[in-house]
Amino acid sequence: MRFDLLDVVRERLKEAGIADVVTTLPDSSKHPEAVVVSLGVASRQTRYHDGEVATPLRLTVIAKRRSELDAMGDAMEAERILRTRPLDSRNGSYRVASVETAFPRPIPWDESGFFVWAFDATINITRKDFG
């Protein structure tokens, strides 16, 4: 079964009207503006006797726009969506136990004239491990 958390987050953000949401770094020559959703390295796992595994996952959302107001607005809306909307798996590959988000902040590293705002979220999930 395919782990679909990034797909679910992308769909939630698109449903909220956020444009250009991707789950891989886009080619900036083709997609100069984007909202990138990515997973960090998984943290420690807790295994239970029934085969269930609890894992905190770090999710990073980066909004890159020509306008600082648009970058800030998209990052703040994305944070609100992750904090308030259900992120349940569509195919049953995981269950969400909790979501904690950090407040979006500007990132000063884009030198191409774009504005970047970003935030991290910790999504605690459980899944069955049959392997």
66 forms beta bridges with: none
**Rounded CA separation 6/23 (Å):** 7
Q: Is the pLDDT of residue 79 over 80?
A: yes
**Rounded CA separation 27/30 (Å):** 6
Q: What is the pTM of this model?
A: 0.90
Query: Going by C-beta distance under 8 Å and a sequence separation of 6 or more, which residues neighbour residue 115?
Result: 64, 65, 66, 67, 68, 70, 71, 72, 106
pLDDT digits (tens, 9 = 90+) for 10-40: 999 999 999 999 999 888 888 899 999 999 8
Q: For 72-94, what is the mean pLDDT?
A: 96
Q: Which domain holds residue 39?
A: 5-128
Give the type of residue at 51: G
**Per the structure, how many domains does the chain have?**
1
Q: Is the pLDDT of residue 112 over 90?
A: no
Mean of per-residue pLDDT scores for the chain: 91
Residue 129 pLDDT: 63
The tokens describing 116, both together, are 């970047």
- CATH number of the domain within which 101 lies: 3.30.2000.10
% of residues, the chain, pLDDT over 70: 96
